[in-house]
Amino acid sequence: MQATAFVVGPQDGPGAALSDMARGLNFASVLPYAGVSTAEQQSMRTPVCYFLFAAVPDIGSLRDVAEAIRFSPSRKVRFSPLIYFASNPSLDTINRCANLGFDDVIAIPVGQDRLAERISRQINKTIVYYETSAYFGPDRRHRQMQTPAGELREGGRYRRLEIMRSLISGISVVRDELRDTP
């Protein structure tokens, strides 16, 4: 797979297990996360970079790393998939990951075929992202709503972006619109 997997977490225990899983998916490279600048450099060589997060006792401890990625000046990093891996993640954990802008939460253990399918969901399709005063990440609303849920409560403007991730051409922004909440 022409993508890099950055493993966010310890290099032993859950981080090592996650690195082994990523190698089993044939990523072009599997690297320990060493900061946004390293990811920005790698994004110039690899069309797509995935950020795979190992389970931690407190999801809040991931906020700084998730925000550094989501607010990177490089669109190739900013719109990269963020995926959290945990054994039996609670609803609270899933919600907190969603609020941090994660693209997916995967319960482990998971079979290699199922894992490959979940990873591939992030490629070759249009994905809607929202940027509001309190959120930046994938669309997490019910599909029938017209505006981001947080903005319905707060009012104001928001950005709606459509992105495409391709293992050949990388990450592109297909549409970028500034909208007002009705």
pLDDT tens digits, 21-36: 999 999 999 999 999 9
Measured at the alpha carbon of residue 99, what is the angle toward residues 154 and 68, in degrees to the nearest 5? 110
Cα four-point dihedral sign 132, 118, 115, 19: negative
7 bridge partner residues: 32, 52
Domain spanning 3-120: CATH 3.40.50.180? no
pLDDT tens digits, 156-180: 889 999 999 999 999 999 999 999 8
Domain ranges of the chain: 3-120, 126-180
From the CA atom positions of the chain, what is the Rg in Å?
16
Quick one: pLDDT at residue 140? Answer: 76
Contacts of 89 (CB under 8 A, 6+ apart): 55, 97, 105, 107
pLDDT tens digits, 100-157: 999 999 999 999 999 999 999 999 999 999 998 888 999 876 433 444 444 445 568 8
Contact 30, 23 (CB under 8 A): yes
Average pLDDT, the chain: 90
